Amino acid sequence: ISLEAAMFQAVREGEFLLYYQPIVDAPTRRIQGFETLMRWKHPTLGMVPPVRFIPIAETNGLINLLGAWALKAACVQLKQFEEVSKRPLYISVNISPRQFRNDKFLEVLDHALAFSGMNGSQLVLEITEGTLMIDPVHAESILVKMAERQARIAIDDFGTGYSSLAYLKRFPISVLKIDRAFVKDLPDSPKDGAICNAVLDLAKHLGLSVVAEGVETEAQLDYLDQRGCQYIQGYLTGKPMPAHAAMAALKEDL
Ligand code: G
Ligand code: G
Ligand code: MN
Ligand code: NA
């Protein structure tokens, strides 16, 4: 049985689950939100990583079903996180190119918000530059409708795709996520330092927030914090974890 056939069975069996990775405030390291990351717990194969199943789901269209489930489950989970934190948090959800272009996407979004009772302003949708560039006219209309729902848009893997900076002017974007590729060799790499500084400067002048991804060391966090990077995500401040562990992390962070 192929991985693809196994995936359809996995949906029916409820083998997909969501992990949550903390996104923290750099100076205080308090949790501000979580990125939702999908996992597949196969009964015999064990944990199948998303790099193996997301591309298949993107090709066969199953991503629309999986993505709708993930968005709704993440919104419901955020409400539970907030019962622990007693303060507002946000939830960030990855949206693939195919999901973003799906006719039903706005319905899926509205259903997740209505079902969970979560405010749109607490939702961040992560899309890549590539997703925007496939059809910029269509992308703009969807982004405007998301903004009407107060959902924020984050550019994931910022700086790694083929795109022009013009879209930052044209589209209602709120967050840039600096890719791990530019973070991993900090603070020693002058080129990566220059790129991070340039992104931070650009974001500041455009009024955008920045999340640095893949932060694994204190030295990386200090470097970014000193240069005004407000948000940090990475193994240093929390790995992707199941919901119960995320709740425990929130209890430690009151
Ligand atoms: O933890 P990591 O191996 O979790 O994730 C690898 C990649 O898989 C992420 O960069 C992201 O692009 C993709 N991914 C993880 N979870 C989701 C999800 O819920 N939806 C979509 N569309 N992509 C996801
Ligand atoms: O959506 P995106 O492509 O940004 O997915 C984030 C990916 O980065 C996920 O696969 C997640 O597990 C991974 N990740 C998160 N923090 C770290 C980190 O500190 N180091 C490494 N190597 N990977 C990380
Ligand atoms: Mn992401
Ligand atoms: Na990323």
* Nearby residues for ligand 4 (ion, Cβ within 5 Å): 156-157, 213
Tell me which H or E stretch contains 21. Answer: strand 16-25
211 lines ligand 1 (CB under 6 A): no
User: When comparing pLDDT for 4 and 187, which is higher?
Assistant: 187
Average pLDDT along the chain: 95
Q: Which protein residues are within 6 Å of ligand 2, measured from CB?
A: 21, 37, 94, 126, 156-157, 180, 213-216, 234-235, 240
Q: Candidates 17, 40, 54: which one to mutate for ligand 1, based on the most atoms within 8 Å of Cβ? A: 54
Q: What b-and-e string marks burial along 41-62, b requiring 16 or more CB atoms within 10 Å of the CB? A: ebeeeeebeeeebbeebbeeeb
> How many angstroms separate the alpha carbon of residue 46 from the centre of ligand 1?
17
Domain ranges for the chain, please list them. Answer: 3-251
Instruction: Establish whether this prediction's ipTM goes over 0.95.
Output: yes
End-to-end Cα, the chain, rounded Å: 47
* pTM value surpassing 0.90: yes
Atom number, ligand 1, closest to the C-alpha of residue 50? 8
> How many angstroms separate the alpha carbon of residue 108 from the centre of ligand 1?
19
What is the distance between the alpha carbons of residues 54 and 99, in angstroms, rounded to a whole number? 12
Cα dist. 26→159, 204, 237, 242 in Å? 21, 16, 10, 23
Best CATH choice for the domain 3-251 from the list 3.40.50.460, 3.50.50.60, 3.10.129.10, 3.20.20.450: 3.20.20.450
46-48 and 31-42 strand pairing: antiparallel
Tokens of 233: 């995500």
Tokens of 101: 């272009």
> How many angstroms separate the alpha carbon of residue 95 from the centre of ligand 4?
12
> How many angstroms separate the alpha carbon of residue 1 from the centre of ligand 1?
24
96 lines ligand 1 (CB under 6 A): yes
> How many angstroms separate the alpha carbon of residue 216 from the centre of ligand 4?
14
The residue among 209, 160, 199, 203 whose CA lies nearest residue 180 is 160
Helix (H, G, I), strand (E, B) or coil at 121: helix
Q: Long-range pairs for 57-63 at CB < 8 Å and ≥24 separation? A: 57/7, 57/96, 58/96, 58/97, 58/98, 60/4, 61/98, 62/7, 62/8, 62/11, 63/96, 63/98, 63/99
Q: What is the DSSP letter of 181?
A: G
In this prediction, residues 17-42 reach a mean pLDDT of 97
Q: How is 78-114 classified by DSSP, letter by letter? A: HHHHHHHH-S--EEEEE--HHHHH-TTHHHHHHHHHH
Helix axes 190-206, 218-226, angle to 10 degrees: 40
Q: Candidates 64, 94, 155, 177: which one to mutate for ligand 1, based on the most atoms within 8 Å of Cβ? A: 94
In this prediction, residues 145-170 reach a mean pLDDT of 91
Q: What is the pLDDT of residues 181-215, one digit of tens each?
A: 999 999 999 999 999 999 999 999 999 999 999 99
49 lines ligand 1 (CB under 6 A): yes
Is the pLDDT reported for residue 221 higher than 80? yes
**What confidence score (pLDDT) does residue 165 get?**
87
Is the pLDDT reported for residue 162 higher than 80? no
